[in-house]
Chains A and B, each alone.
Chain A
Amino acid sequence: MIEKADIVIIGGGVQGCSIAYNLAKRGQKNIVILEKDTVAHGASGRCGAGFRQQFGTEMNCILARDSVKIFEQLSDELEYDIELNQRGYLILAYTEKEVNQFRKNVELERSLDIPASLITPEEAREIVPCLNTEDVLAATYCPTDGNVNPLLTTFAYAEAAQRLGVKLYQFTEVQKIETDKHGIREVLTSRGRILTDTVVNAAGGHAREVGELAGVEIPVYAQRHQILVTEPVEPLWAPMLMSFSRNFYFQQLPHGSILGGYGDPEHEIIGHDTGTSWEFAATMAKKMTSLVPILSNVRMVRQWSGSYTMSPDSQPILGEHPQLERYYMSLGFSGHGFMLAPITGVMMAEYIMEGSTCLPIEKLNITRFERGELILEPSVV
């Protein structure tokens, strides 16, 4: 193993690989990624594949919009077909409160050049003819939202980074980050030590522990989320179907299978459990068949789970840790890490190399919790 590195990135998920690639693309040398299993083994390889720009805060809208711009040309840039599909997100409103929120969201989105619109249940049915619109009061639709293959995207970033000289060590677990009064000194791993003064914590569900390894506190935790997938069937409808109040998201992927899940913070396991529950499969099947009744005969072939890394305001933590110089963080994405990785990889690379970024990264600094400047997102599943 290499003995010395300019930058050590901990975590071979989409964040770590995107940061490594963007650093190397800007000319940074001697970058190492440490991954305790294989690339995309954690949440990047377990996520729901979707990306959307329909959010309720300006920060999320801008990050998502700029991420989509990168997704749109990423297959060419990384020389790897990541199976981009822009077939929209249709988000359903079931309460008056939601309709009011969506009205505000759409106004915000349009002011930021995101082509979303508020539509009627009848218009929603024109987009998805097999949709049961009972109790639906309105919906928002953005045609440039969509999905990509998250596995291939992560592998594509990892391969492109390695072509630019990044060293990837898999099955290599970080055991300790040694520091002294000047800052970071070295990273101890299960396969030896690496001298470095710069570490990036991109450890996803394990981000809190990777903070503890350096003696710094990071207020995030892993929360299990489950997903199920069906056998592939003929094309039934195009966009992602989603609701915050009824709590679900599911879509038909280009391959034909239908994939979806819901959030259940009250019952779901806190920690690194990757098991599944029968209750989830039964509840999700109910939600899917009641919204799209023709799905009754489509068979589920697999269910699995992965971790959301929850932050206190469900927004990512980006930037340097105030207690440890050159200890950078890209974590706490609270369920949106995959879709934001293209832009956060760029922002982190700019921030580490130049100290400033194209987008206001300071607002996502970890010190916002002490300052009480939380950015609360009203529109999450």
Chain B
Amino acid sequence: MDDNTIICRCEDVTWGEIRKQLDKGYMTLDEIKRITRAGMGPCQGKTCQRVLLHAIARYLNKRVEEIQISTYRPPTKPVPLGVLAGGQDD
């Protein structure tokens, strides 16, 4: 994969930025996310997590199951604060 390939579209994170962290010794999805912001945007990794997982596994010569993934958290889709704020009275 080219270093300029964008892996996380929400946060504009390239493979080159991720590879640099893998070369430093980071190897879990959480570490990569916390350092590069890959997967921290509005889609919360729903677009890029699979791509990233496979790319990391291939680069580190590991099986996909061996890469520790991140926690999925609410909400499933971004929710406006105004809707959340009104929701409690309904």
**Which A residues fall within an 8 A CB radius of B?**
38-41, 45, 151-152, 155, 159, 230-232, 255, 274, 276, 278-279, 281-283, 285-286, 288-290, 295-304
Chain B residues closer than 8 Å to A303, beta-carbon distance: 73-75
Q: Could you tell me the distance between the alpha carbons of A196 and B24 in the complex, rounded to whole angstroms?
A: 29
Asked if residues A286 and B88 are in contact (CB atoms below 8 Å), the reply is yes
Q: For the side of the interface on B, what is the size category? A: 20 to 34
Q: Could you tell me the distance between the alpha carbons of A297 and B83 in the complex, rounded to whole angstroms?
A: 8
Chain B residues closer than 8 Å to A281, beta-carbon distance: 74-75, 84
Q: Does B17 contact A (CB under 8 A)?
A: no
In the complex formed, the residue of A with least CB distance to B79 is A300
In the complex formed, the residue of A with least CB distance to B81 is A285
Interface centre among A40, A159, A300, A303 (most CB of B within 10 A): A300
Chain B residues closer than 8 Å to A295, beta-carbon distance: 81-82
Q: Does B28 contact A (CB under 8 A)?
A: yes
Q: List 30 A-B contacts (CB under 8 A).
A: A38-B31, A41-B30, A45-B34, A151-B35, A231-B41, A232-B41, A255-B37, A274-B71, A279-B88, A281-B74, A282-B85, A282-B88, A283-B88, A285-B84, A286-B88, A288-B85, A289-B82, A289-B85, A290-B85, A296-B80, A296-B82, A296-B85, A300-B78, A300-B80, A301-B42, A301-B78, A302-B73, A302-B74, A303-B74, A304-B71
Chain A residues closer than 8 Å to B35, beta-carbon distance: 151-152, 155
Q: Could you tell me the distance between the alpha carbons of A279 and B35 in the complex, rounded to whole angstroms?
A: 30
Given contacts A159-B24, A300-B78, A303-B74, 14 further A-B contacts (CB under 8 A): A230-B81, A231-B42, A283-B88, A285-B81, A285-B85, A286-B84, A286-B85, A289-B81, A290-B85, A296-B80, A297-B80, A299-B42, A300-B84, A303-B73
Q: Could you tell me the distance between the alpha carbons of A304 and B78 in the complex, rounded to whole angstroms?
A: 14
Q: Nearest chain A CB to B34's CB is how many angstroms away?
A: 4
Chain A residues closer than 8 Å to B84, beta-carbon distance: 281-282, 285-286, 300
Asked if residues B79 and A38 are in contact (CB atoms below 8 Å), the reply is no
Q: Nearest chain B CB to A294's CB is how many angstroms away?
A: 10
Interface centre among B24, B82, B84 (most CB of A within 10 A): B84
Asked if residues A296 and B81 are in contact (CB atoms below 8 Å), the reply is yes
Chain A residues closer than 8 Å to B81, beta-carbon distance: 230, 285, 288-289, 295-300
In the complex formed, the residue of A with least CB distance to B75 is A300
Q: Could you tell me the distance between the alpha carbons of A285 and B44 in the complex, rounded to whole angstroms?
A: 19
Given A38-B28, A151-B34: A301 touches B44 (CB 8 Å cut-off): yes
Q: Could you tell me the distance between the alpha carbons of A302 and B42 in the complex, rounded to whole angstroms?
A: 9
Q: Could you tell me the distance between the alpha carbons of A301 and B80 in the complex, rounded to whole angstroms?
A: 9
